[in-house]
Amino acid sequence: MIIRNILNICIAASLLIVSSCSREPIPPPEPKIDYLKIEQLRAMFEQGITTIDTNVYIQGIVTLTPELGNIPAFVAYIQDSTAGICLTVTGNNTFSRDSEVKILCRGVSFTEYNGLLQFGDISIADQVTVVSLTPPAIQPETVTISEVLTGAYQARYIRIENVQFDEPGTYSGENILTDCSSELEVYTRSDATFSSEALPAGNGYISGVVSEFNGRQLLLRDETENGMTGDRCGGAGTTYLMQDFAALVKYADVSTLAGWKTYPQAGTKTWYGNEVSTRKWVQATAYNSGQASVITWMIAPVIDLTTATNPYLQFESANGYDNGATLRLFVSTSHDGSTTPWTATWTEKSFSMPASSVSGYSQFVNSGQIDLSSYNGGQLWIAWVYDGGTDRTTTWEVDNVLVAEK
């Protein structure tokens, strides 16, 4: 009996040992990852932290990506309800604008580039989780230029109302946005898909993401997030003429625009509209004319400077396949609107011109402000004269004509 009991105890013990050895190991608990507001993340940099060494994450809406070319390929902007921040990405940048994402921050570092706080480098594959590709649409916060200039809105998606661009032109490069009190730079990379499009001419609202490059600047998400069709600020009569030729049909004579005239003095060529992508302009050329001499005038609608104080003229010009044809600028107070304008008295005006482009087309170049104050108190005509021929077939282009008060 005693032997049987001992045997049973041994068998039970053996089974217990086998059972213990075959049990699955218990995995360690998942590390806790704490949520951090972007405002708190930015504060860590202010406190002297350069690299995140704790398990934290941020979550927000992607407001700006490189998809339209207006920021570098390795950059994106994100914000939550408290703040925004510029991200730098290592590897393929697959951030999708207006999506909601969660980003693990451990090991990520802060850098400051010309005043812009950047957070990176982030591996989208390893550190980013897409929460939603279609979250509720983010709305820009309405602020003033003065508020943007304080620096409190860096990397935020904002909207500014009652503003206008101070000069005509295209989006490309640096443009000044003003509310007729304060000014803010709007910067658009030449790689942006909308860089060559004309700036809106009126007053209204515009939206974008606040950035920094040795000063505050606004980066546009695209060219559609504006409504600038109202009357410009600065007082009645400050803008005497503004023409971006957007209404001119391709290849149509410029005289189809109200008040504009074109007259051939030699040959039969006239000034006409052209366009590439969404940009339009007016041009003259002797190319393929077969005419020994091509001289053609383009005259703007008469400018009434009766009440003017400090008016100026400004426009943009470009040339293509330059081989000697010229573009000249004239003004007159004696032109009577006749079809032979060259019989009137004209004064030639100098302006900044683009460099010669012999194997393609130059970029549009701003003429600079051409002072017209000596013509105050009366009417003024402005003319552009193309002079070419069979051996001088350069194409000359003109765009974004503005006559306004300084």
Average pLDDT in the 317-323 region? 97
Average pLDDT across the chain, whole number: 91
Task: Supply the pLDDT for residue 16.
Answer: 45
Give residue-wise pLDDT tens across range 278-319.
Answer: 789 999 999 999 999 999 999 999 999 998 988 999 999 999
Give residue-wise pLDDT tens across range 163-198.
Answer: 999 887 889 999 999 998 899 999 999 999 999 888
Domain ranges of the chain: 34-132, 141-234, 241-405
Asked if the model's pLDDT at residue 111 lies above 60, the reply is yes
3-state secondary structure the chain: CHHHHHHHHHHHHHHHHHHHHCCCCCCCCCCCCEECCHHHHHHHHHCCCCECCCCEEEEEEEEECHHHCCCCCCEEEEECCCCEEEEEEECCCCCCCCCEEEEECCCCEEEEECCEEEEEEEEHHHHEEEEECCCCCCCCEEECHHHHHCCCCCCCEEEEEEEEECCCCECCEEEEEECCCCEEEEEECCCCCCCCCECCCCEEEEEEEEEECCCEEEECCCCCCEEEEECCCCCCCCEEEEECCCCCCCCCEHHHCCCCEEEEEECCCCCEEEEECCEEEEEEECCCCCCCCEEEEEECCCEECCCCCCEEEEEEEEEECCCCCEEEEEEECCCCCCCCHHHCCCEEECCCCCCCCCCCECCCEECCCEECHHHCCCEEEEEEEEEEECCECCEEEEEEEEEEEC
Task: Supply the pLDDT for residue 7.
Answer: 47
Local confidence band at 237 (pLDDT 50, 70, 90 cut-offs):
very low
- The top-level CATH class assigned to 241-405 is mainly beta
| Least confident among 96-100, 140-144, 273-277, 395-399 | 273-277
Give residue-wise pLDDT tens across range 23-82.
Answer: 566 776 667 899 999 999 999 998 999 999 999 999 999 999 999 999 999 999 999 999
The CATH H-level (homologous superfamily) assignment of domain 34-132 is Nucleic acid-binding proteins (2.40.50.140)
Query: The domain 141-234: what is its CATH number?
Result: 2.40.50.140
